[in-house]
Amino acid sequence: MSTVLNPVGELSEAVVNESMQKGSGDSVIKFGVIGYGYWGPNVVRNLDQQDGSKVIAVCDKSPTARKRIHKSYPHVKVVSETADLLSSTDIDAIAIVTPVWTHYELTKAALEHGKHVFVEKPFTSDSAQAEELINLAAKKKLMIMVDHTFLFTGAVKKIGQLLDEGALGKIYYYDSTRVNLGLFQHDVNVIWDLAPHDLSIIDHLIKETPEAVSATGQTHLNGHEDVAFITVYFPNKIIAHINVNWLSPVKVRTTLIGGEKKMLVWNDLEADEKIKIYDKGVHISSREGLYNLLVNYRSGDMWAPQVEQVEALKQELAYFVDCVSNNHKPFNDGEAGLRVVKLLEAANQSVSKRGALVHL
Ligand SMILES: NC(=O)c1ccc[n+]([C@@H]2O[C@H](COP(=O)([O-])OP(=O)(O)OC[C@H]3O[C@@H](n4cnc5c(N)ncnc54)[C@H](O)[C@@H]3O)[C@@H](O)[C@H]2O)c1
């Protein structure tokens, strides 16, 4: 199988764990996939196509979904009960691509059956569940990877590289707008649906532990908040703001990152030039004898760095296979999933108190 480099190699930590038995260098990792709704087909397609993995069986409760699987993958076993997947000794790892409220039960069952787990975002419905699963995986010497897909996009990798090189200088803020019309979810609000993307990105990019969250939101249609504004406070005056909305007439995926030296705009809907870096900034000085501050604005060049065009999920699944095969601890592991769940919980708590600050 091909070995895939960890896209942010420095964060990956080798697990010196000889008893991690699934996967042994060049072997093929055999998968069972649970859930073939909207996102599941992308997971199955990538696992089916890539070297180093094989889809043995796919499970979905819906007969329509099962028909679709059978049509696209006649060589794959199609089942309606998760027990049929979990009890198979032929399967090394389970990909869980079902709604959030099922993640805990299914991940727990998979770990108890000795399978590594690739589970969708958000990891679980609450942090107690995530902690229990992390402990269970450690006890069983199995791996959990949480699908934080955006960390594998060319854009986030490029931004991470720029921040690590200090190209923007000291970070002031991260400000994301992630809005569109729908898709309304039945089990979670817009925060739990869309904000995991930004929360996993800031968890990954901002090398500080968040201190507090304040969030406001409103329910209009189905009892779940469909519009929300989340603010995350970090040490060193770094602030992150995330606007998520299912009631927007247009789709917007724009993030601003302001730094002391330079400022960055990431428009994920741009085909080319997704990232633009502006040599713009503000410098405050005071002149002797003057009591007022002088605000100097700098406006220099703009440039658009090359961004790798990759299917993020393809890279992520290759990374999962590589981690399982070579006993590497992924950077988007259960702990990363737990950090995101804690921020989501804090945001929900704050929304229920109309924006009250929730300390982490
Ligand atoms: N990483 C991403 O960018 C991304 C994108 C979309 C969705 N997701 C995540 O993927 C997960 C699934 O989302 P979706 O939009 O595909 O949902 P969906 O409702 O479209 O599909 C879920 C499928 O799972 C099946 N299912 C549910 N419980 C089951 C069970 N116990 N056993 C077998 N089958 C079961 C359903 O029948 C359905 O076909 C969610 O956690 C969501 O947040 C991630």
Of all protein residues, whose CA lies closest to atom 43 belonging to ligand 1?
121
pTM for the predicted model, two decimal places: 0.92
CATH class of 151-310+341-359: alpha beta
CA gap 117, 114 in Å, rounded: 10
Domain ranges of the chain: 13-149+314-333, 151-310+341-359
Half-sphere exposure of 288 (CA within 13 A, CB side): 0
Best probe residue, ligand 1, of 78, 100, 118, 120 (max atoms within 8 Å of C-beta): 120
Q: Integer distance in angstroms from the first to the last C-alpha of the chain? A: 42
Q: Ligand 1 centre from 248 Cα, in Å? A: 23
Taking alpha carbons only, the member of 274, 273, 275, 293 closest to residue 283 is: 293
Q: Ligand 1 centre from 333 Cα, in Å? A: 19
Q: Ligand 1 centre from 39 Cα, in Å? A: 6
Judge if the beta carbon of residue 57 lies within 6 A of ligand 1: no
Taking alpha carbons only, the member of 169, 241, 228, 237 closest to residue 201 is: 241
What pLDDT shows up at residue 291? 64
What pLDDT shows up at residue 120? 98
List per-residue pLDDT tens for the chain, 360 residues long: 333 333 333 333 333 233 333 444 458 999 999 999 999 999 999 999 999 999 999 999 999 999 999 999 999 999 999 999 999 999 999 999 999 999 999 999 999 999 999 999 999 999 999 999 999 999 999 999 999 999 999 999 999 999 999 999 999 999 999 999 999 998 999 999 999 999 999 999 999 999 999 999 999 999 999 999 999 999 999 999 999 999 999 999 999 999 999 999 999 999 999 999 999 988 888 766 666 678 888 888 999 999 999 899 999 999 999 999 999 999 999 999 999 999 999 999 999 999 999 999
User: What tokens does 193 get?
Assistant: 């649906």
Task: Report whether CATH 3.30.530.20 matches the domain 13-149+314-333.
Answer: no
CA gap 53, 168 in Å, rounded: 39
Q: Ligand 1 centre from 36 Cα, in Å? A: 7
Judge if the beta carbon of residue 107 lies within 6 A of ligand 1: no
Judge if the beta carbon of residue 23 lies within 6 A of ligand 1: no
Q: DSSP letter string over 43-72?
A: HHHHHHHSTTEEEEEEE-S-HHHHHHHHHH
